[in-house]
Amino acid sequence: STASCVEMVAPVVSAAESGHDESPQFSFPDDGIDYDLLSKARSLCTPQELDKICRERNQMHAKRTRDRKRIFIEETEEMIKHL
């Protein structure tokens, strides 16, 4: 179901542009995720785009989970060394 794919991803303001009165320049990390598609209004998306958005979000969440697990394991190993 595409109903669970409604969350928007906000662009990140680059550090060089923060604090200026000019219109902010937005930049996304170069991590292989299609942030332009993720920031597109869902009401304007085709069913294929909505499916791709769900896959992109799933990949983002899976990567975040793997990163959290890696950090947890590293911290646990460090604690074990000190015991």
Report the distance separating Cα 52 and Cα 47, nearest Å.
Answer: 9
Contacts of 2 (CB under 8 A, 6+ apart): 47, 50, 51, 54
First-last CA distance in the chain: 48
Instruction: List, for residues 28-38, the tens digit of each pLDDT value.
Output: 777 777 888 88
Report the distance separating Cα 34 and Cα 54, nearest Å.
Answer: 11
**Which is more confidently placed, 44 or 18?**
44
Instruction: List, for residues 46-79, the tens digit of each pLDDT value.
Output: 999 899 989 989 998 999 999 999 999 999 999 9
Write the CA distances from 49 to 35, 41, 54, integer angstroms.
12, 11, 9
